[in-house]
Structure 1
Amino acid sequence: MINNKYENVEDFLIDNTFQEYCAGDNQQCIQYWTNYLHKHPEQEATMIQAKRLYHILVGNKRPLDAQVGKLKADIQALAPIPTITKFQFSFWIKTAAALVILTGGLLWAIQRSSVEGVASQQRDVSYVTANGEKKTIELADGSKVTLNAGSKLFMDKGFNVNERHVHLTGEAFFDVSSNKEKPFIVHTQDFDIRVLGTSFNVKAYPEETTSEAVLIHGLIEMKSKRGNENLVLLKPNQKVTIYKAEEKIEGKESVKKVKKSQLKEIAIQDLEPEEDNLTLPDVAWKENRLEIIDQDFSSLQHVLERWYDVEIQLQDEHLQDYRFTATFNKERIDQVLNALQKVQPFKYKIYGKKITIYK
């Protein structure tokens, strides 16, 4: 590694391992930078700019170092010829001009990339959590948002100037500051939520078969997407669940197209905490409490993957139908699996961050 601190595009470009990652020639470098991106999601935009700039400079042909090295070799090979002074002078002028053009092109490309980066930053601001991570942020309007694992929240740079729109993928708990002139609107893949000032939880992971919203205080208006637009008003301690229809795959085997289908069903449920001093199970994750309520193994698999930052494989289809109800606080993943084994019979093997579950 050339540089241990990466703050801008240039820091990535001067790293030889990053160049090999961009070229796709070295599997070890590809794995390293893939893991680096996973650990530093906040640098995704900068890495994309650096990778784009790399391909502009090399033309998707050869590494930049190889091109510069060949140019130096050509200069050294031609320099010893003493009898063609006039030709040498002309050659050096052309070589200098080429270097000026190359340097100018590099500076232009870096400046252009930087300008595009600034423009991109002006377009939106994003917050990302990796699996096994939670994060609480305060927005420009004073609203507080807690992101659950494997989630992303982004908004326009001008958030709270004229309006308050945010886009969510994953799960988040919102405590929204009141402002009647600027309604707070949360956009997800399956529905939009409009509020004035309240606290609520939204769960909208693309890979899951349902999307949910739970209202704690205040009043929210939810409008579903995909097909008929259903408008739902939620009261405190109410939960709305949207059941997604299965996505259809169309086309030949070589070219498959995923067609988004309409929503299958919408259900509203009144919730009550099990005890007065406990929060609702749907938002217990904010207190690092994992609540599992009559959940099948297929959906629980995704929850555990995000919670513990692991990859789980169910080797038997019958395992997917196993259902569990349990509460966990600070247990390790092996302790959780051991507890679940007492409810339903299964075996498991752990290889680092990969877990295989079988009968």
Structure 2
Amino acid sequence: MNTDIQNEVKSLLNKYRSGIISPEEFKTLTSDMNQLSDAELKNPFYEEWDNFTNYEPLSQDKINALYPRPEKKSHISPFIKAKKYWLQIAASILLVVACGITTLYYAQNQNMKYLAEQNIVINSGEYGTSLVTLPDGSLVHLNAKSSLSYKQDFGHNERRVSLSGEGYFEVEKNTDKRFIVSTDVMDITVTGTKFNVYAYEHKDFVEMALVEGSVNVTTKDPGHNTLSVKPKQKVIYNKLTGQLSLEETSNQIETAWLTKELTFRHEQMKNVFRCLERKFGVVFEIKNPHILQDVYTGTFNDENIESILRILKIHYGFEYTINNGIVTIE
């Protein structure tokens, strides 16, 4: 390697940068640079690149002295060659930086996408109810043994939640972004309304009862049946048969679990037991079906199911046992 020539080039470049190089020295610099390869010029140029931060351009007189006007034969200045080489180096550096920025952006974007797709899950307890406030201000009352989930970016593109169990929804109105409640068998689509959804996975049916507003219910089976629902109507989907039906309702039984007070006016006992099932998360097994046709009028304001059963026992003379959430009526 031409170490002596490299050292001479470094020295002459320093003079060139300082503006004190003579025409003779400039010719020597030109000759030396033409003798060196690109690889041998790399280190001197890198060092000179760092020193050019405070570069002052040469005066016009100095330029005229160093670069005499050619007559017939043109000659490419070594500094044009050097400039081209530096541009290649700069381009390589920019490429590396650009690749780094692109990689960083991609990693951050993937991380944000991953976070956005993560679900927030709210589980209610074994007993009692829970109140959830969603990011858009909508309220969800969860009954016992229920869960609600939604993505971290809820409300960014759409408002979608998934429900397992029972929930009463008070949806903030937004005509630009629909609110969708997804269960295992159907989707409930609204813009702003109040409705109750009963969708326990271990039950053979899913039910949606509308209190206010309007709702569209669409099944997830291949038929994708859709029903438009009005207030005081409820949709029932039978998981065993795939049948979707629409019924009238007062919403009393469907929403009784929301209040501490249960009021019945000449209500059949089968509906009373259904109400107690939903409020306390129990299952009734009736040994004598004739009791289901009896009617009851009264009010319960007790949060203890055994207290309620003792009152009903006095009225109808039955015996009962409770074991693992199953109430057996003898």
Whether TM exceeds 0.5 here: the answer is: yes
Aligned-pair RMSD on alpha carbons? 3.4
Are the equivalent residues in 2 in contact too, given 1:131–1:307 (CA < 8 A)?
no
Aligned to 2:260: 288
Aligned to 1:269: 247
Residues 312 and 177 (structure 1), Cα distance of their counterparts in 2 relative to 1, 3 Å cut: closer
**Residues 129-144 of structure 1: matches in 2 within 5 Å?**
129-144=124-139
Unaligned 5+ segments in structure 1 are 1-115, 246-261, 273-278
Deviations 1:137-191 (A, max 9, x none): 1111111111111110001111111111100001111111111221100001121
**Letter paired with 2:252:** L
Deviations 1:12-56 (A, max 9, x none): xxxxxxxxxxxxxxxxxxxxxxxxxxxxxxxxxxxxxxxxxxxxx
Are the equivalent residues in 2 in contact too, given 1:296–1:321 (CA < 8 A)?
no
Aligned to 1:217: 212
Number of matched residues? 214
Q: Find the aligned partners of 1:202 and 1:355 in 2 and give their Cα distance.
A: 23
Identical aligned residues as a percent: 30
Q: Does 1:158 align with 2:130?
A: no
Are the equivalent residues in 1 in contact too, given 2:256–2:279 (CA < 8 A)?
no
Q: Does 1:357 align with 2:328?
A: yes
Aligned to 2:185: 190
Unaligned 5+ segments in structure 2 are 1-110
Q: 1:181 aligns to what SS in structure 2?
A: coil
Aligned to 1:338: 310
Aligned to 1:348: 320
Q: Find the aligned partners of 2:305 and 2:169 in 1 and give their Cα distance.
A: 28
For normalisation by structure 1, the TM-score amounts to 0.51
Are the equivalent residues in 2 in contact too, given 1:165–1:184 (CA < 8 A)?
yes
Q: 2:173 aligns to what SS in structure 1?
A: coil
Aligned to 1:147: 142
Q: Which is higher, the Rg of structure 1 or of structure 2?
A: 2
Are the equivalent residues in 2 in contact too, given 1:171–1:201 (CA < 8 A)?
yes
Are the equivalent residues in 1 in contact too, given 2:262–2:301 (CA < 8 A)?
yes
Residues 345 and 150 (structure 1), Cα distance of their counterparts in 2 relative to 1, 3 Å cut: same
Q: Find the aligned partners of 1:295 and 1:229 in 2 and give their Cα distance.
A: 35
Deviations 1:268-327 (A, max 9, x none): 22234xxxxxx7332122122446854649x948x7567447x7685xx73578527655
Q: Find the aligned partners of 1:228 and 1:154 in 2 and give their Cα distance.
A: 26
Residues 243 and 300 (structure 1), Cα distance of their counterparts in 2 relative to 1, 3 Å cut: farther
Residues 340 and 140 (structure 1), Cα distance of their counterparts in 2 relative to 1, 3 Å cut: same
More displaced 10-residue stretch of structure 1: 283-292 or 222-231: 283-292
Q: Find the aligned partners of 2:277 and 2:127 in 1 and give their Cα distance.
A: 8
**Letter paired with 2:257:** W
